[in-house]
Amino acid sequence: MVKQQELIYEGEAKQIYATDDPALAIIRYTDEATAYKGFKKGTIIGKGVVNNHVSSMAFAMLEENGIPTHFVRRLNERDALVRRAEIIPVNVVIRNVAAGSLLQRLGLTEGQVLRRPIIEYCYKSDSLSDPMINRDHIDALGLATPEEMDQIQALSRRINELLIPFFARYGVQLVDFRIEFGRCGGKIVLADEISPDSCRLWDSKTGEKMDKDRFRRDLDDVENGYQEILRRMTQPVADA
Ligand code: C5P
């Protein structure tokens, strides 16, 4: 049993604790929610529990399919045990369907299926509001090497190919999502989370939004969107 020690990082919706094993950390998922660079703040009751379950299931599935990740195991309702990694300050966004910031940027209609998945990179910087960058910027700024980016790009495409059918089993369409990578033991590993906070997830039949966009856009029933995802994922046979 690992023992939780001091808080080492506090993010918008999660806390990370050191443990008595220097190679391991505990992620605690909270109910805090922020949007629009922190201008909108709130609490979504039960969100941390949902995100921990969903993310743990997604990471376990990806590991089983050969994706190296930081995930070790889910510890309890809100906590997961992970390997400590040096996070690469690049957000990777993968899009299958037009939504969110892509609409205004490229003049697309929400829900338009893209001819092929699009990968975008953003520089993780609060003071610069996470600007979109390309692989030249990443190399020039020394954020990651071209070889590391080759791996990140190939892993991102494979993760998308695995996540689309994974969510589809539960009647959920994976519209787009954001992931992060880290360096751990000389390898690139998938880090952070995969949850309704970091993914756009729509009901496959009705197109209803079941993710953080309900909070961002002031839609009703924010809690139920999250709970419905977890309900479906923990009762796959009845609801598939
Ligand atoms: O807002 P945008 O359309 O660029 O977001 C693309 C995807 O990345 C969405 O699934 C959103 O939830 C996710 N995202 C995120 N954290 C950010 C920015 C975007 O999880 N800081």
Indicate the pLDDT class of residue 240, thresholds 50, 70 and 90: very low
In ligand 1, which atom is closest to the CA atom of 211? 12
In sequence order, the 6+-apart residues with CB closer than 8 A to the CB of 199 are 174, 175, 176, 177, 178, 211
Percent of the chain with pLDDT over 70: 98
Summarize the confidence of residues 23-36 as an average pLDDT. Answer: 97
Q: How confident is the model at residue 38 (pLDDT cuts 50, 70, 90)?
A: confident
pLDDT of residue 208: 97
Q: Name the pLDDT band for 239 (thresholds 50, 70, 90).
A: very low
Q: Are 83 and 189 in contact (CB under 8 A)?
A: yes
Structure tokens at 77: 């309702």
Encode pLDDT of 75-100 as tens digits: 999 999 999 999 999 999 999 999 99
Q: 189 near 204, Cβ under 8 Å? A: no
Residue 22 predicted with pLDDT over 50: yes
Instruction: Assess whether the C-beta atom of 232 lies below 6 angstroms from ligand 1.
Output: no
Q: What is the pLDDT of residues 167-184, one digit of tens each?
A: 999 999 999 999 999 999
DSSP labels, 216-237:
HTT-S-HHHHHHHHHHHHHSHH
Report the pLDDT value the prediction gives residue 128, as an integer from 0 to 100: 97
In this prediction, residues 207-232 reach a mean pLDDT of 96
Any atom of ligand 1 within 6 Å of the Cβ of 102: yes
pLDDT digits (tens, 9 = 90+) for 111-150: 999 999 999 999 999 999 999 999 999 999 999 999 999 9
Among residues 220, 198, 232, 226, the alpha carbon closest in space to that of 14 is found at 198
Distance 238 CA to ligand 1 centre (A): 31
Instruction: Kindly report the backbone phi and psi dihedral angles of residue 208, in degrees, each rounded to the nearest multiple of 5, phi listed first.
Output: -60, 140
The best mutation among 93, 122, 132, 172 to test binding of ligand 1, ranked by most ligand atoms within 8 Å of the C-beta, falls on 93
Q: Is the CB–ligand 1 distance for residue 118 below 6 Å? A: no
Percentage of residues in the chain with pLDDT exceeding 90? 96
